[in-house]
Amino acid sequence: MEKVNYLIVGQGIAGSLLAVELIRGGQKVMVINHETENTSSNKAGGLYNPITGRKMVKTWLADSLFPGLEAYYGQLENELDARFLYPMTIYRPFYGHEEQNDWAAKCDELAYQPYIKEIHGGSIGVDGVVDDFGGLELNYCGYVNLPDMILAIRQELINKGCYSNEVFDHQQMEVDNGVKYKEYEAENIVFCDGPMVVDNPYWNHLPFKLVKGEVLNIDASLPVDKVINRGVFILPKNGRHSVGSTYEHNHLSYVPSEKGIKNLEDRLSKLYQGKYDIINVTAGIRPATYDRRPFIGKHPEHPEVSIFNGFGTKGVSLVPYFAGQYVNYLLQGGELMPEVDVTRVKL
């Protein structure tokens, strides 16, 4: 048997960064991952954004997450000799003068000052963009090219002999003062299996609320140095622009739907009225949760079995912070934030 400290199941953004943090902590890991295009991390836009939602408020934990976020990914780029971090401002057009005035007032609020780059009193003059009342430019924004990052981490894991491409078979897992799986013996196993968690016998009791998201990839004459975001995001990526996303809870599949495509086109038309060509449409399923908080921690009956999952649409900003917190909990006896502790849900 090959002995490791941690088995990690899944290599999306959660499994990738948790593996990085455990290795930094001196642990021997083995990542078991089924390589498929149908993962939420491979389909996600990868945006990070401190001001979100229809009401445009600071996202949960913004002051803890965002000031060090780009430094975190920048350090990881240096370690892996890869490029996947793309900082850029987000421009959010105003709907009217009232909203414009509200944000002018927020410039004086200490809570919002770090996140406001500039307030525009009139249009920024991009052909086709609907912004008659100007808009808000934000700091601490951009995107992480998740497929590129995941591939770079995967190669590093392969180089270290810490990676296996296979479908995880729960029936071959034994739990008894540790974990045995095939040729591996581990102190702990952590499931970072994204939406596949609904078929996981240890965690299928959790109230996940999976969400299908669709993204249009278009050719258009739009800025390549900023994200435009209102109703939909328009993200410059790989020489084109990605437009997203939908939120479908009932018809979960990896096939884009006519309804989803029309929804995106309708919402895009309210933000951008220029010409564009649709190159393709992608669909993924996000592992969202009932209360929009991730599930992190140990199984109440099997402490050798852990979960690190449920980061939804905000994985790029949430996972680095909570991977560090969870590794501190596992290795140093630190505490988990009650809002994410999996024990908030009873068996």
Give the residue among 38, 37, 39 at the shortest CA–CA distance from 15.
39
- CA dist 30 and 169 (Å) reads 15
* 3-class DSSP state of 6: strand
Confidence band of 239 (pLDDT split at 50, 70, 90): confident
Confidence band of 229 (pLDDT split at 50, 70, 90): very high
pLDDT above 80 for 94: yes
* Range 23-47 average pLDDT: 86
Question: Is 222:126 a contact under the CB 8 Å cutoff?
Answer: yes
Give CA angle at 267 (123, 104), nearest 5°.
35
Confidence band of 169 (pLDDT split at 50, 70, 90): very high
pLDDT (tens digit, 9 = 90+) per residue, 103-147?
Answer: 988 888 999 999 999 999 999 999 999 999 999 999 999 999 999
56 versus 228: the higher-pLDDT residue is: 228
Q: Which residue(s) pair with 3 in the sheet?
A: 185
What is the structure's pLDDT at 252? Answer: 83
Domains annotated for the chain, with CATH where assigned, are 2-44+147-206+293-344 (3.50.50.60), 211-286 (3.30.9.10)
